[in-house]
Amino acid sequence: MAEPDHPPVNPDPIELAICKSSFHAIAEEMGAVLRRTAFSPNIKERCDYSSAVFDTQGRVIAMGDHMPVHLGSMPRSVEAALAKLSFSPGDIAILNDPFAGGTHLPDITLVMPVFVSGAAHAAFYVANRAHHADVGGMYPGSMGLCREIWQEGLRIPPVKLVSGGVLNEPLLALLLNNVRTPNEREGDLTAQIGSCRVGAERLLEMVSRYGMPRIEQNIVALLDHSERLMRALLHSLPEGEFPAEDYLDNDGITTEPVKICVAVRTDPAHESLQVDFTGSASQVSGSLNAVAAITWSAVFYVLRCLLPEEAAPTAGLMRPVTLVIPEGTVVNARPPAAVAAGNVETSQRIVDVLLRAFAEILPARIPAASAGTMTNLTIGGIDPRTGEAYAYYETIAGGSGARPEGNGISGVHTHMTNSLNTPVEALEYAYPFRVRRYAYRAGSGGLGRYRGGDGLIREIELLGPAQVTLLADRRAFAPYGLAGGGKGAKGSAMLLANDECTALAGKCSFEAPAGAVLRIETPGGGGWGI
């Protein structure tokens, strides 16, 4: 094993545990503040946000229990902000550019430095990311069938939204003038600013209690502890190469399946792990392209799932891991690729492929495939009740895969999403909709010794004309079972309008009249065993 690049640190284990829990509590409180003060149902109800804490070098040291697709990729945003900007006390950076630290345009990230009194450099950074229900572009909700990044919405490089504690009003005006719901966007951005400031306050309270030298020592120890736990996992794995592949149905523009494949390689000394995505499809015409940060995030999530619960999700986890992600592929797209669905759909399939590979390595620990799609639904138009524009976005849960020790769970958000549903009452209050049905999709889970969880059925009636966009998958390739278990049911959708019932493609966009009913059926999870 390579020698560490710092002297060995032997902190008090009790103090290290307190420090770890304190950092985690700060990230959690940041998320709670963001949720309480946000305007949009997408953040207040669905919890489509994440928060994290970073050290002076921009290395992640704590994450809230939020969304894996956000958390694993957020370090790239902090890295991009540090590379682009020079920070002073009171500054807050904003960015969403997928090719400069972001993931897809609706996910807006704020990064704030935390300065200890008298210090020339930031001692910490705090960051949060929230999915904004609209950031402009061709389609309400900014999640449409686009062919290039410029069609998807407002693209923000790392810039300062706040300088020295003063809001950059012209920049905010520019942002708000390019979205369909400016009041909601301003409210959510203000909530993100407040969340960052609370995180900064709590870190400074830690500094006043323990002092920076002790905290810095514990940060080094925390990173090293995460690395040791990862290396312990590697020592338990068999030597060899373990390939796997799966497919996305299509990119929404053509009908061609989109292949994702991986080879997981362990070395003879059990000191490192290589995750190689060579052979995955070239980047596609539609918006299923994932940037490298998304692929990194999926790998981080899967490996974290294999570690003991006490393993802190820090930058130390990935020290023994090497990723091979060929540029120009659907798992590492280059500009001007459209990427809206790469964040939500391709990320899920990357996880499915990784788990399929690890099922050969650790067969007694890996579940069958879950729904494998976030089933992204966006609806926008003019609210007939108010005459104002609205944009609704939601991911609809499905079934989780059966496990080696039990059945899957029905109607749950899995893997790269960790969001909730929008409650019926909140949905009907905020939008011109009526929920006609919301139920489990009985029998959609795969058969086996243990059954996969069932998907959901959701029927929404539109009370006014609207633009509807669906980005969903697992229509052609069902969620796989493991150890002889059966596949989960594929998803489906249909539109009931003008006394006609029309089957909908998994990826589509259309104008729907008032009174139309949209019916979504999400996939079930695969079964496990026979």
Indicate the pairing of strand 49-55 with strand 60-63.
antiparallel
Indicate the pairing of strand 376-382 with strand 389-395.
antiparallel
330-275-528-251 Cα dihedral, nearest 10 degrees: 0
Using one digit for the tens of pLDDT, what is the confidence trace for 352-391?
Answer: 999 999 999 999 999 999 999 999 999 999 999 999 999 9
Q: Which residue has the tokens 């497919």?
A: 247
Q: Residue 289: is it exposed, middle or buried by C-beta count within 10 angstroms (0-12/13-18/19+)? A: buried
243-249-253-259 Cα dihedral, nearest 10 degrees: 10
Nearest residue to 318 via CA among 204, 229, 427: 229
C-alpha to C-alpha distance for 460 and 55, rounded to whole angstroms:
45
Q: Three-class SS of residue 268?
A: coil
Q: Three-class SS of residue 338?
A: coil
Nearest residue to 344 via CA among 371, 317, 380: 371
Predicted confidence at residue 270, as pLDDT, reads: 86
Query: Which residues of 91-150 form beta strands (DSSP E)?
Result: 92-95, 107-114, 124-131
Nearest residue to 146 via CA among 284, 3, 44, 22: 284
Element (H, E) at 91: none
Predicted confidence at residue 2, as pLDDT, reads: 43
DSSP 328: T
Q: Which residue has the tokens 């997928």?
A: 98
Mean pLDDT of 122-138: 97
C-alpha to C-alpha distance for 493 and 518, rounded to whole angstroms:
7
Q: Write the CA distances from 522 to 51, 243, 351, 376, 441, integer angstroms.
A: 29, 28, 18, 11, 8
Mean pLDDT of 170-188: 98
Q: Three-class SS of residue 450?
A: strand
Q: Are 195 and 34 in contact (CB under 8 A)?
A: yes
Using one digit for the tens of pLDDT, what is the confidence trace for 396-416?
Answer: 999 999 999 999 999 999 999
Alpha-carbon torsion 36, 207, 15, 4, what sign? positive
Alpha-carbon torsion 17, 19, 20, 25, what sign? positive
DSSP 412: B
What angle do helix axes 292-306 and 347-361 make, rounded to 10 degrees?
A: 40
Does the pLDDT value for residue 9 go beyond 70?
no
Query: Which residues of 165-308 form beta strands (DSSP E)?
Result: 166-167, 240-248, 258-266, 273-276
DSSP 346: I
Q: Three-class SS of residue 340?
A: helix
Does the pLDDT value for residue 438 go beyond 90?
yes
Does the pLDDT value for residue 269 go beyond 90?
no
Mean pLDDT of 463-467: 98
Query: Which residues of 267-332 form beta strands (DSSP E)?
Result: 273-276, 321-324
Token pair, residue 129, equals 């990311």
Mean pLDDT of 207-236: 96
Prediction pTM value? 0.96
Does the pLDDT value for residue 8 go beyond 80?
no
Tell me which amino acid residue 190 is.
T
